[in-house]
Each structure stands twice: as C-alpha cells, then as structure tokens.
Amino acid sequence: MNAEDAMLADGLAKKSFCTTNSEIFETLRSNKFQAAVNEIYDVIEKNYRETGQNIDIVKLLAAKPLLLDQFKTIFRAGLDVRLLRIIENYLRFPVGYGGVDIFFTVADGLERGARTWHKDSEDNPMVKVAVYLNDVGDDDGPLEILHLEHISPGSEKVRHFRQQKLVDLQDEGKIKFTITSFTGPSGNVILCDTFKYFHRGKPALGRNRRALFFNYYAHKPLTPYFCPNPPFSSDKMKELVADLSTVQQNAALWRENLAGIDKFVTKRRPYLNL
C-alpha cells in the first residue's frame, strides 16, 4: 500500500472505522461510475416523486432492464483494488465481496429498518463502505455509530438487541453512549465494521439522501449462511469480472471457493435473473 492507503488501513485497524474521499479510488471517481449512479438515482427519485413509493433495485431493474449495465458498473466499483487492500489489512484475510446496496433515503423523518440502531450479522469482523452521492448534513440521514459504555454487569449482552432494548437499558441507567455522526460532502467515504458497532442511517428531515453501501467479509466467512444472496448466477458473475485481476475475481467469486458444509449452506440463488 502507498502511504495514504496505509494511513487509512491503520485508522481502520485501530478504531474499526475511518473516512476518506472517493477521489482516491479509481473506480469511484471514474466518469463511467458517476454517470451510472446518477442515471439510476435520477430514475429512483423520479419514480418517488411520481408515485410516492421508494422502489428497490430489484423492482427497478425488472421494470427498466436497460439500467442493468449501470448496476453492473456500480457493482464492479466495489472491487477497487486499493479498497480491497485496505479492507484485507483489517480482516487479516483475503476479501470476500458481498455486493452493493443502493439506498435512496427519503427525508420523511421516520425511524424504521436501517434507520434504527442495529448491528449487522453477516460475519465477524466485516466492513461496510458507505459512499455519499450528495452532500449529507446532520438533517440529511448521515450514517451514525454508537460508542457504548456499560454501567452495570450483564449489559454487555446487548449485542443481540436492537433499538428499543438500547433505549430501555439507557433509561434504566445500565448503559451510556455517545454518537459519531458521519456528515460530509458528496464523495465522502466511510469504512466501518458494522458487526462491531451499533449503527443506523439517522432519520432524514432535510433532503433525500443518495448513498451506496458496499459489503465485505473474509473470503471464507465464519457464518456464510448469513451472507445475502448474490445478484447474479455463478456463470454471469464469472463473466462480469473476467477482465479483472485475480485478486478482484477471487473477491467477487468467494462462494466458489467454499467447501463442505459451508458451500452447501451458503445462499447462492441470485436475486437478479436478468
């Protein structure tokens, strides 16, 4: 790694989160990537204005299959080699790429789903990489993480609970917590171990938020059966990454290298059949 990447890797290793800017990653700053995200999000936002419904990527691509190439560009961007090296340094294993979530967060102030405090459970450790595609202030749905202080014995077991349990324990004086809120301009990038930290997208009140979340685990996860289904079939995935480096291909095709019971129980049915 160069000095800039090594500094990010060191920050991630020490705190389990760090921030940077998309300009340092070739795939994220490319014109092709920028055009792809703008086209998909413009269609999502237009659909929301016309219908009042926030359409997910599966329904969007089923309705507008011509956007599939744009989705593939976004998916491949998560295989940026510099990004994989930084994450591999944290995981201490070659990386398994879990794909990308395309979030359009409506500024309706509601607490639900990923806008409530929770921990991810795909693997331990794991890294999610958030990329802001518009400016995100405090009222625009920034990613937030909790720093917990356990006051009473037994409160450490809180890992298995979600938001209401956290609130109850705080009200009972059993825990205290502070919040790190990741506000920032378009292009802001946050790397975070979302198994370690309770986190959420703060309910937005200002503007709608456009943000991608790329997902990463070890190439042989401890709990592969918790990892979500891939977007494409095995053959289509191999075709999609055929022109990339061996490191990138191995990250995208990690399911192919599982053996025994792990290969049997891991989700393999693609959620896109286009």
Spell out the per-residue pLDDT of the chain, length 274, in tens: 899 999 999 999 999 999 999 999 999 999 999 999 999 999 999 999 999 999 999 999 999 999 999 999 999 999 999 999 999 999 999 999 999 999 999 999 999 889 999 999 999 999 999 999 999 999 999 999 999 887 776 656 655 567 777 888 888 888 888 999 999 999 999 999 999 999 999 999 999 999 999 999 999 999 999 999 999 999 999 999 999 999 999 999 999 999 999 989 999 999 998 7
CA–CA separation, 125 and 114 (whole Å) = 19
Q: What is the pLDDT of residue 158?
A: 54
Q: Which bin fits 72, alpha (ψ -120 to 50), beta or left (φ > 0)?
A: alpha
**What pLDDT sits at residue 183?**
98
Is pTM beyond 0.85 here? yes
pLDDT of 161 reads 62
Report pLDDT for 212.
Answer: 98
Residues of 178-215 as b/e, b for ≥16 C-beta within 10 angstroms? Answer: eebebbbeebbbbbbbbbbbbbbbbbbeebbbbbbbbb
Which pair of structure tokens corresponds to residue 236? 């289509």
- Residue identified by tokens 């309705």 is 63
- Contact status, residue 97 vs residue 221, Cβ threshold 8 Å: no
Is it true that the peptide bond before 125 is cis, omega within 30 degrees of 0? Answer: yes
Q: Note the pLDDT of residue 148.
A: 82
What is the structure's pLDDT at 221?
94
> What would the two tokens of residue 53 be?
């419904």
Q: In whole angstroms, give the CA distance from residue 5 to residue 91.
A: 15
Q: How far apart are CA 157 and CA 206, in angstroms?
A: 35
